[in-house]
Chains A and B, each alone.
Chain A
Amino acid sequence: MAVATQNKALLIGYRAYVIAFFIFLAAPLVAAGTFAFNDSLFPALPWQGFTLDWFFNDTEPKLGMFHDRRLLRGLYYSAVIGAMVSFLSVFVGTTNAFLFVRGNFPGKNFFYILMILPLVIPGVILGISILVMASNIANGVEDKLNIELEFLRPGILLVVLGQFSFITTITSLVITARLKKFDYTMEEAALNLGATRAQVLRTVTLPFLRPAMIAAGIVAFLVSFENFNTTLFLVGSESPLTITMYDRMAKVGSTPVLNAVSFFLIVGSGLLALISVVIQRDKSGG
């Protein structure tokens, strides 16, 4: 609207480009989702008719995702890991926000850059570096004290730590942005009305941050859920869903049950993303 759009043809061309882009954006997702409903053993054309077997059927060869033990276990592990990562990273993200918005200490700018850094480190490297360190510690302890520290071997804990290491940057940025908008006089007003420091935090500051904390938690959960690169090096026997799917794809090849999982994940992550956007929309205008 800002641009003087005298040139009608140009505008139509521009619109066509935007539409083409959104088709490009949607095509693979639609393809991945749609074949979940094709009554065929292969996710390919021709269309054989509509079915929900790939979700709910309980017998081979058309074993639906909700009866596929390994996929369900992957889903469960993903959910557990996601919940842990999102809890941890929201907690540290919140303390980081207070540290950088309210705190005053030497080297603050330097530490702030340090806080952003994990976001631009390739996930593969985060994965191997944490794997190497955990193994070094575990090996060292085993050699010296002859104690086997099972939790430092690849497994859920390492996956959680690996994802937490960079997701915390995301949650910190989201919560920091919100805390910066906080009108400091609201805390003074609460103090003035007789609240203690703890009451101010509980009744004024944290409620103000709550939308950002929930949104950050959802984003953390989603990023954790879809993460592959970091997880790949840290995973033990408890594979989360993306790893299970990748194994299935590599060993069995593409089967419509993977489409069913894809559909489930696209819809699920879309809904969660939608919720996080809606929550962050500030009804009171900040």
Chain B
Amino acid sequence: MQSDIKRLSLILLFAPFALWLLLLIILPHIGIVALSLREKVAPRVYEFGFGNYIDFIQEPIYWNTLLRTGSMSILVTILALLIGFPIAYYIAKIAGKRSRGALFLLCLIPLWVSDLIRAFGWILLLRETGVVSSFLQDIGLISQPIEFLYNDITVIIGLVYTVILFMIVPLVSTLDGMGDDMIEAGYNLGGSGFTVLRKIILPYAMPGIVSGCIVVFMMTAGSYLTPILLGGKNSSWFTEQIYDQFITRFNWESGAAFGFLLLAFTSLVVWLGLKLTGQTLANTVAKS
């Protein structure tokens, strides 16, 4: 009796989980893989083949875009970590009790502001008629308007800006869990600031760092608005290619192949990152 009830409730709990993952994640992904392996040989006639992938390899623009997206995303991830870690450390360990809560709140409140509004803000600041350009003219540093938009540096700044809070927030939680006494013991036992950072703080924060890096990398590689709006039409971001294939050219087979390639490529990078740092998905992302 008792065990029947237990089994029944387990099944009832498993059902929504299974439906969700199967119908919305697993089957759709199998679907795009299948679609990507279809070649159009004539109108409404398709056959199995790797044509879409061969097209990708044969057209340098495509794989260059993917490599560019990947390498810039890695760069953005590293920058977000380098800029964000000291901020997280300050909030978790150096700020006084009251300002700690306030600073963390300042990070949490804008967390969910749309990419679109963020990019829009940067456009207003950086475009030729924007705030920065006007300001520099007003103080006489430059004589005519300067366009700060539509270059790679701006795209990278914008991307770092969009994702950095997703690096800082999990880092603050991780560092918060580390007792001050551990750091003090490190100093007490004669460690220099750098040794303490390298031997105590970083290893302790590693799950949080890796978790932040994975989320940030995936968000960057999958972002669409920020590179388009700040980089202009020539931003060459891979999601743009997918959009182009799907919506503009209506070539779903090729778009599906691109989508699968993006997923495979980013997963590979994440997998390599996990291997290099000796972490697993379960003890990093799941904890944040």
Direct A–B contact present (CB less than 8 angstroms)? yes
CA A124 to CA B5, docked complex, whole Å: 41
When distances are taken between beta carbons in the complex, the residues of chain B under 8 Å from A200 are none
In the complex, the answer to whether B117 meets A266 with C-beta atoms within 8 Å is yes
A49 to chain B, nearest CB (A): 17
Verify if B153 is at the interface (C-beta below 8 Å from A): no
Q: List CB contacts (< 8 Å) of A81-139 with chain B.
A: 91-92, 95-96, 98-99, 102-103, 105, 109, 111-126, 128-133, 136
Asked if B259 contacts A124 (CB within 8 A), the reply is yes
- Is A50 interfacial (CB-CB < 8 Å)? no
What's the minimum C-beta distance from A196 to chain B, rounded to whole angstroms? 12
The answer on a CB contact under 8 Å between A27 and B121 is: yes
Contact partner, A273, options B96, B108, B134, Cβ 8 Å: B108
B35, B93, B105, B120, most chain A CB atoms within 10 A = B120
Which of chain B's residues has its CB closest to A29's CB? B121
Complex Cα distance, B125 from A275, in Å, reads: 30
Residues A129 and B28 in contact, CB atoms below 8 Å apart? yes
Interface size on B, residues (CB 8 A): 84
Query: Within 8 Å CB of A129, what residues of B?
Result: 28-29, 31-32, 259
Decide: B222 and A122 in contact? CB cutoff 8 A: yes
Number of interface residues of A (CB under 8 A): 88
B contact residues around A270 at 8 Å (CB)? 109-110, 113
Indicate which residue in A109, A124, A246, A265 contacts B242 across the interface (CB closer than 8 Å).
A124
- Whether B113 lies near A31 (C-beta < 8 A) is no
A254 on interface, CB distance cutoff 8 Å: yes
CB contact under 8 A between A43 and B124, given known A1-B93, A28-B161: yes
19 A-B contacts (beta carbon < 8 Å): A3-B183, A14-B94, A22-B103, A28-B118, A28-B122, A28-B161, A31-B121, A31-B124, A44-B131, A44-B134, A96-B13, A112-B282, A116-B282, A116-B286, A121-B25, A124-B262, A130-B28, A270-B110, A273-B109
